[in-house]
Amino acid sequence: MRILKLQINGDLHELAAPDHWTLLEVLRYSLQLTGSKQGCDKGDCGACTGLVDGKPVLSCLTLAATAQGHEITTIEGLLPAHRRAGGEGADPIQRAFDRCGALQCGFCQPGMMLSARALLSRNAQPTRAEIRSALSGNLCRCTGYTQIFEAVESAVCEQLGVAPKPRAWETPSPESGS
Amino acid sequence: MSAREIHGIGAPFGPAQPGAPENREFALIGKPTAKIDGLAKATGALQYADDIQLPGMLHAKTLRSPHAHARIRSIDVSAALALPGVHAVISGRDLPERYGVIPWTQDETALAVDKVRFIGDPVAAVAAVDEDTANQALRLIKVEYEPLYAYFDPRESLVRHDPVIHEDKKDGNISKHVELVFGDVEGELKASDLVVEDDYTFHGTTHAAIEPHCAVATQAADGLLTVWSSTQITHYVHRALAKVLGLDPARIRVVQPALGGAFGGKSDPFSLEFCVAKLAMITGRPVKMLWTREEVFYAHRGRHPMQLHYRTGVTKDGRIRAVDARILIDGGSYSSFGLVTTYYSGQLLTGPYDFPTYRFHSTRVFTNKPPCGPKRGHGSVQPRFAFEVQLDEVAERLGLDPIELRRRNFQGGHTRTVNGQRITSNGFLKCLEEVERASGWQQRRGKLGRGRGLGIAGSMYISGTNYPVYPNEMPQAGIQIAAERSGRVTVFTGGNDIGQGSNSMVAYIVAEELGLDLAQVRVVAADTDLCPVDLGAYSSRVTFMVGNAAIDAARKLRALIVEAVAAEWKVEQARVRLINGRVIDMQDSARSISSAQALQITEARHDTLGSTGSYNTPKLGGDYRGGTIGASPAYSFTAHVVEVQVCEETGRIRVERCWIAHDCGRALNPMIVAGQMEGSAYMGIAEALLEEHGVNRFGLHAGPSLLDYRIPTAIDTPELAARIVESLDPEGPYGAKEAGEGPLHPSIPAISNAVFDAVGIRLRHLPFTPGKVLEQLRTARAMTQGKQSGQVSRC
Ligand code: FES
Ligand code: FES
């Protein structure tokens, strides 16, 4: 057992946890922050992605003790942070995923949205290829990713105040590829 | 046509608007509305099974067999039980009752009794204060095994029956055999101008939902048992728990929390559900079991590997005269849905093409591998692959365009298949047209230069099945609605939302029918204490069956509201319209009340408000043994064109794009339908190129992790273009059919056909690894030596 001091979603938590517990275990089982999901527990799927100092990190591979002294953000932190900043509703990324149909079973999505959040905070207007690459550590088994890409692009358009591109299924029969 | 003309007087109100798009008269149906639980998912608030934490909860772990086939001589759990922190240990003796999703083939037990049949077969389970202690206890359980000869090759199981994997099966290691003949196949083959004959292989693949299986159980002091499980078949789990535990089903409650993907991988009752229940009953404490990713791979129930042989006879103008199939199915160690799989492997091939004669001969055998079961497109993805590749070869040999060949053999709508299935709406031609146009097929196929090609394939799939898993006369799907004077309406459904959005579908329908804002509707689902029975999320049945039940229930309630409001206003009922959270008088726009007020008027007149509705299939199916298996009230149709780039240096195939056209009847929500189409195509492409669920010569899984079992990342996934085709089915809810499984089928053969267009080789054996591509390219080059330039496509 070890006493940990963890800064999570703006709050300082002091708690005791076994030495070998990962950040994911502490989040889920000590703090009931179950929005961070466990899909494999070995670094393969990305469902447990959290932000540590704004960068995506696999919380199942991060010893809880090593996360001390850093600012940790989980999916539960996005909406309150958005409200604190004077926004309404949920975080724009969350709303975009919702309105674009990206949330099928939703299990991969907390990690996916945090990866997307991290991307947009370092690159406000990513290309499709940059989105693919930034999300490539988060496996999704439901969507085929297309509506996820569209959601990220829709959030970008919303931020810029421009109308989003029609989504793949909305476009009238596209001309063939080049 | 207005909805009323299509669906009768009960359909949503609205004047027909000639020339207006179909959707004009609907408030919600046909619109890309967000899901009712989308924001709960997006904020991490929704509770999945492993998110449940109960006070005093114990954690359970499973001891699994290290042998592929062995007799258990003895199990000694005393040391494990003595470990501090361990509260209970159980083995096969504690849960000897058999179960299995199909009543006729129940051959599973929660923990092995006497024998283990694959590496990973559950043998014992421990409940302890935490997972670490439970794991430590597993190592203290002593099991003495007597290893037996193990089968890994299905061809061997066909002929060798000693030792037998299931002692009490009358056919040795044969799990199921089906042979059905429709018409004079041999005669037609003889009379055909061309017969194409070949062998095909489909490998094993698995679901790999991102959420691992998890179950939690607790028993109240009065004996009431509650089990939360990541299942897509709450009702069958309920029945199985009662049987295995020997409890009255009225004293068991099964709840499906939010589910993190399933794809058929959660449609059997699983060992962990019985173990947590039993351990909770023994210890008097809540118990949770969460499987590791590795355990999920061993639990499997994935796509059956099949060895397929097809003969197709055609006339010289490309009309199919006869199809003859012989299929060997590797079932793995248990029956699961295998009886149905064996039928489906033949029964579901008989559309969208018409053929006058057909025979299939399918045999499923047991091997000592993780058990196979239903994966998205159950039993029909494999034969579809073989047949669509064979059709492409037919087109090539006849010098016909492959799309034209498919068009010529189109069976049409409102017809019967050779095996006696009733086809209603059929938008397959439109699907072909869509992908042909979208992909630029006419201008581009065969003209993209060596290494790049286009391929087409089509398919058909069921929207639910006529055949309930256990025979009964009750409805397949039920709905209850409770309406309250605040204007809140709660819908209770047994339907399992597995991420496909069925809870939202139910809410859209009820809101549409009662003219409510979506925000007024709540859905309570998949809780056996609260909801009427639905048989579960499998066979693509939920939209069709639960949707129809929801319409039924909502219309009964609407009739009450219309009657009460019309009486209150003293107007004819036809003038009362329910729309957008209000009730209005069609002839007096000044007269309008909120739906809450309307519910109050109705409640005052009729008592506490509620209604029920249900759906059952009409009698369908061929008049022969097995004729109802594969009979569906409606069939969906799909066509894909894929574009590939083949690197002849490395043998690597890259799918660059996939155009997906799918006839879903009516898209109740086109955004959700498109998501199903994209997800299906992605999964099919992955099966063709990346994924393989296999075991080594000892029966050990080849790579039970999400790293070794390579599911595509955001970078690997090609561009997916979904084209929704609507054929308005006469019996579907507002004309809807399925969209969640059909669109997987064509991706796999379309890739093989595109590779042929790109580099002239026919890939008949899955998966399409670079090694196989290179080998076939070498063979092809050797055969055409000298005839071609030495040009090779690079990438
Ligand atoms: S749970 Fe952390 S990567 Fe899968
Ligand atoms: S939405 Fe289900 S895994 Fe991504």
Domain boundaries B379-467+622-783, corresponding CATH code = 3.30.365.10
CATH class of B475-615: alpha beta
Do B475-615 and B379-467+622-783 have the same topology in CATH? yes
A128: Cβ below 6 Å to ligand 2?
no
pLDDT in tens, B649-702: 999 999 999 999 999 999 999 999 999 999 999 999 999 999 999 999 999 999
Question: Does residue B235 sit in helix, strand or coil?
Answer: helix
| pLDDT given for residue B467 in this prediction | 83
B115-116: strand order across its sheet:
B115-116, B70-76, B142-147
| pLDDT given for residue B704 in this prediction | 97
The DSSP code for A29 is I
Nearest CA of chain B to the CA of A160: how many Å?
22
Angle, helices A92-99/A146-160, rounded to nearest 10 degrees: 130
Q: For a pLDDT cut of 90, what percent of chain B falls above it?
A: 94
Report the C-alpha gap between B604 and B336 in whole angstroms. Answer: 51
Chain-chain contact of B35 with A103 (C-beta, under 8 angstroms): yes
**Residue B137 CA to chain centroid, in angstroms?**
37
For chain A, domain boundaries:
2-74, 78-160
The chain A residue lying nearest B682, using CA atoms, is A144
Pairing of strands B653-663, B719-725: parallel
Asked if residue A129 lies in contact with residue A94, where contact means CB atoms within 8 angstroms, the answer is no
A108: Cβ below 6 Å to ligand 1?
no
- B638 CA to middle of ligand 1, Å? 35
Asked if residue A64 lies in contact with residue A23, where contact means CB atoms within 8 angstroms, the answer is yes
Residues of chain A with pLDDT under 70: 172-178
Residues from chain B contacting residue A147 (CB–CB below 8 Å): 671, 674-675, 678
For chain B, helix, strand, coil in percent to 5 are: 30, 25, 45
Report the C-alpha gap between B21 and B724 in whole angstroms. Answer: 15
Q: What is the ipTM of this complex?
A: 0.97
pLDDT in tens, B38-48: 999 999 999 99
Provide mean pLDDT across the span B205-232: 98
| pLDDT given for residue B787 in this prediction | 57
| pLDDT given for residue B9 in this prediction | 42
Kindly tell me if the per-residue pLDDT of B122 is higher than 50: yes
pLDDT in tens, B131-148: 999 999 999 999 999 999
| pLDDT given for residue B143 in this prediction | 98
CATH class of A2-74: alpha beta
| pLDDT given for residue B1 in this prediction | 39
Count of residues for chain A? 178
Position B790 confidence tier, pLDDT thresholds 50, 70, 90: low
Please identify, by atom number, the ligand 2 atom nearest to the C-alpha of residue A142: 2
* Among A40, A78, A144, beta carbon nearest to B293: A40
Q: Mean pLDDT for chain B?
A: 95
B477-483: strand order across its sheet:
B521-525, B489-493, B477-483, B609-615
| pLDDT given for residue A81 in this prediction | 97
Q: How many CB atoms lie within 10 A of CB B145?
A: 18
Report the C-alpha gap between A103 and B110 in whole angstroms. Answer: 34
Report the C-alpha gap between B86 and B83 in whole angstroms. Answer: 6
DSSP H stretches of helix in chain A: 23-25, 75-84, 92-99, 109-122, 128-134, 146-160
Residues from chain B contacting residue A105 (CB–CB below 8 Å): 209-211, 258-262, 498-499
pLDDT in tens, B550-585: 999 999 999 999 999 999 999 999 999 999 999 999
Kindly tell me if the per-residue pLDDT of B641 is higher than 60: yes
Backbone angles phi, psi at B303, to 5 degrees: -60, 130
Residues from chain A contacting residue B656 (CB–CB below 8 Å): 177
For chain B, domain boundaries:
49-148+223-261+266-287, 379-467+622-783, 475-615
| pLDDT given for residue B476 in this prediction | 97
Nearest CA of chain A to the CA of B50: how many Å?
8
Q: Which ligand is nearest to the CA of A59?
A: 1
Position B18 confidence tier, pLDDT thresholds 50, 70, 90: very low
Report the C-alpha gap between B287 and B276 in whole angstroms. Answer: 6
Position B179 confidence tier, pLDDT thresholds 50, 70, 90: very high
pLDDT in tens, B268-282: 999 999 999 999 999
A108: Cβ below 6 Å to ligand 2?
yes
Kindly tell me if the per-residue pLDDT of B4 is higher than 70: no
The widest CA-to-CA distance across chain A, in whole angstroms, is: 62
| CATH (one of 3.90.1170.50, 3.40.640.10, 3.40.47.10, 3.40.50.1820) for B49-148+223-261+266-287 | 3.90.1170.50
| pLDDT given for residue B709 in this prediction | 97
Provide mean pLDDT across the span B340-356: 98
Task: Name which of A88, A93, A141 to mutate to probe chain B: the one with the most chain B Cβ atoms within 10 A of its Cβ.
Answer: A141
| pLDDT given for residue B714 in this prediction | 98
Q: Count of A–B CB contacts within 8 Å?
A: 217
Kindly tell me if the per-residue pLDDT of B757 is higher than 70: yes
CB proximity list for A156: less than 8 A, separation 6 or greater: A120, A124, A125, A126
Domain A78-160 part of CATH 1.10.150.120: yes
| pLDDT given for residue B492 in this prediction | 98
Task: Please give the structure tokens belonging to residue B768.
Answer: 């399409």
Position B784 confidence tier, pLDDT thresholds 50, 70, 90: confident
- B509 CA to middle of ligand 2, Å? 24
| pLDDT given for residue B198 in this prediction | 98
| pLDDT given for residue A172 in this prediction | 59
| pLDDT given for residue B786 in this prediction | 56
Kindly tell me if the per-residue pLDDT of B224 is higher than 90: yes
pTM: 0.96
Q: For a pLDDT cut of 70, what percent of chain B falls above it?
A: 96
Q: Residue B96: is the preceding peptide bond cis (ω within 30°)?
A: no
Kindly tell me if the per-residue pLDDT of B8 is higher than 60: no
Q: Residue B21: is the preceding peptide bond cis (ω within 30°)?
A: no
Asked if residue B242 lies in contact with residue B223, where contact means CB atoms within 8 angstroms, the answer is no
Kindly tell me if the per-residue pLDDT of B181 is higher than 50: yes
Kindly tell me if the per-residue pLDDT of B19 is higher than 70: no
Nearest CA of chain B to the CA of A140: how many Å?
7
